[in-house]
Amino acid sequence: MKKILTLICASIIFFLNACSHEENIKNDYMFEEYKKGDKIVLKNINGGTKTLIRTDKGFVVKGEENKVLMIDFFGTFCTPCKEEALNLSNLWRNNSDKLIIIGLTHFEDVSDDVVKKFANDYGAYYFLSNSSQNDRIIAQILKDINYQSMEQLPFKVVIKNGIYQNLSDYWNNNTPVNFYLGKIPTQLIQDDLNRIYKEK
């Protein structure tokens, strides 16, 4: 009985810390894959651009190839995304010499004004893209890491030197995975980043 109650509690906590969406039932692998060297210019909803460059099996940011890249799939409708936005901004500020965070809107078709309101209301001051290319980039990332489960938001990957990094699975005793699913404690992310910075 205790095991059943523990499982139910864990399921409820997980559900409350991640947003899912009906559209994720579609096959995300049906898209035109990026080729090595392809460049994708993303516009920040608050001004400025960053250019993603496709590597063998990942991405780097042009001119900032030496930085670790975190890509966050989020939705302006997503409660855990709202709750963690300010924490992500602080994480980026505290690591800005070594880290880039790019947020990609997902599971929604909204105007830049809606994304700007999300940023202002919830303190999301890192780079936010509302590009029509977001879904293709996300599909490529999910294929790269062979992620075939139901997508939930927020969802993050961390890439160093064009290679997806091992991250701690908060929901499974911190076993290594190559993504964060749901709202994750900022200290866990910082601990992972500190390890990644040191690795060659």
pLDDT of residue 150: 83
What is the chain's mean pLDDT, rounded?
Answer: 90
d(CA 161, CA 116): 30
71-100 pLDDT, tens digit each: 999 999 999 999 999 999 999 999 999 999
pLDDT of residue 1: 55
Degrees to nearest 5, angle at CA 194 with 142 and 170: 50
Helix residue spans in the chain (DSSP H) = 2-16, 79-94, 112-122, 134-144, 186-198
pLDDT of residue 95: 98
103-126 pLDDT, tens digit each: 999 999 999 999 999 999 999 999
pLDDT of residue 25: 38
Contact 124, 88 (CB under 8 A): yes
Degrees to nearest 5, angle at CA 190 with 127 and 102: 15
